[in-house]
Structure 1
Amino acid sequence: MTDLAPLPLSVLDIMPVDVESTPSGVLRATLEQARYVEELGFTRYWIAEHHNSPNIASSSPTVTAAAVGGATTRLRVGTGGVMLPNHAPFVVAEQFGTLSALYPGRVDLGVGRTPPHDPGVARALRVDALALDFEQQFAELLGFLRADFPAGHPLQKVAANPPLTGKPSLWVLGSSENGARMAAHRGLPFAHAHHFSPQNSVAALRTYHREFRPSEYLSSPYSIIAAGVTVADTDEEARFRNVPAALALLKSLTGPPEPFPTPEQAAAHPWTAEEAAWRDQFLAPQVAGGPDRVRAQLADLLERTGAEELMVVSMVTDPAARRRSITGLRELFGSAPLPQGLAL
Structure 2
Amino acid sequence: MSQPVAPALSVLDLVPVRADQGTGDAIAATLSLARVADRLGYRRYWIAEHHNMPAVAATNPPVLAAMVGSATERIRVGSGGVMLPNHAPLVVAEQFALLEAAFPGRVDLGIGRAPGTDPVTSWALRAGAGGVEADAVDRFPDHVDNVLAMMSAEGAALRLASGDHVLRATPKASSVPTIWLLGSSDYSARLAASRGLPYVFAHHFSGRGTAEALALYRSQYQPSAENPLPRTFLTVNAVVAPTREEALRLALPNVRSMVALRTGQPLRAAQLVEDAEAEALAPAHEAMAEEMLRRWVVGTPEEASTQLRSLAAEFGVDEVMVSPVAGAVRGTAVDRSPAREQTLELLAEAFA
Q: TM-score, normalised by structure 1?
A: 0.90
Match of 2:150 among 144, 153, 164: 144
Structure 1 unaligned regions, length at least 5: 335-344
CA distance in 2, matches of 1:265, 1:91: 41
Q: What SS does structure 2 have at the residue aligned with 1:157?
A: strand
Q: Aligned runs of 1:91-170 on 2, under 5 Å?
A: 91-127=91-127, 129-132=134-137, 133-148=139-154, 153-154=159-160, 156-170=165-179
Structure 1 counterpart of 2:334: none
1:261 and 2:271 aligned: yes
Structure 2 counterpart of 1:203: 212
Identical-residue share of aligned pairs (%): 40
Q: What SS does structure 2 have at the residue aligned with 1:81?
A: strand
Structure 1 counterpart of 2:59: 59
User: Structure 1 273/306 Cα, relative in aligned 2: closer, same or farther at 3 Å?
Assistant: same
Match of 1:194 among 203, 223, 226: 203
Match of 1:181 among 176, 190, 193: 190
CA distance in 1, matches of 2:37, 2:96: 23
1:243 and 2:252 aligned: yes
CA distance in 1, matches of 2:79, 2:242: 31
CA distance in 2, matches of 1:248, 1:116: 16
User: Structure 1 156/310 Cα, relative in aligned 2: closer, same or farther at 3 Å?
Assistant: farther
Deviation readout 1:273-297 (Å, 9 max, x if unpaired) = 2122221122221011112322332
Deviation at 1:225, TM superposition (A): 1.0
Structure 2 counterpart of 1:81: 81
Structure 2 counterpart of 1:17: 17
Amino acid at match of 1:264: E
Q: What SS does structure 2 have at the residue aligned with 1:224?
A: strand
Structure 2 counterpart of 1:338: none
Check whether the contact 1:4–1:332 (CA below 8 A) recurs between aligned residues.
no
Amino acid at match of 1:302: A
Check whether the contact 1:47–1:58 (CA below 8 A) recurs between aligned residues.
yes
Amino acid at match of 1:166: S
Amino acid at match of 2:13: D
CA distance in 2, matches of 1:16, 1:56: 5
Check whether the contact 1:148–1:156 (CA below 8 A) recurs between aligned residues.
no
Check whether the contact 2:156–2:168 (CA below 8 A) recurs between aligned residues.
no
User: Structure 1 311/264 Cα, relative in aligned 2: closer, same or farther at 3 Å?
Assistant: same
CA distance in 2, matches of 1:231, 1:162: 45
Moved more, 266-275 or 146-155: 146-155
CA distance in 1, matches of 2:286, 2:86: 35
Amino acid at match of 1:330: A
Check whether the contact 1:145–1:163 (CA below 8 A) recurs between aligned residues.
no
Moved more, 313-322 or 71-80: 313-322
Check whether the contact 1:230–1:314 (CA below 8 A) recurs between aligned residues.
yes
1:309 and 2:319 aligned: yes
CA distance in 1, matches of 2:200, 2:136: 26
CA distance in 1, matches of 2:285, 2:206: 20
Structure 2 unaligned regions, length at least 5: 128-132, 329-336
Match of 1:296 among 296, 303, 306: 306
CA distance in 2, matches of 1:230, 1:74: 24
Amino acid at match of 1:45: Y
Structure 1 counterpart of 2:227: 218
CA distance in 1, matches of 2:88, 2:191: 20
Structure 2 counterpart of 1:71: 71
CA distance in 2, matches of 1:303, 1:231: 20
Deviation at 1:156, TM superposition (A): 4.1
CA distance in 2, matches of 1:174, 1:297: 23
CA distance in 2, matches of 1:273, 1:81: 34
Deviation at 1:150, TM superposition (A): 6.9
CA distance in 2, matches of 1:241, 1:163: 47
Deviation at 1:144, TM superposition (A): 0.8
Q: Aligned runs of 1:16-55 on 2, under 5 Å?
A: 16-55=16-55
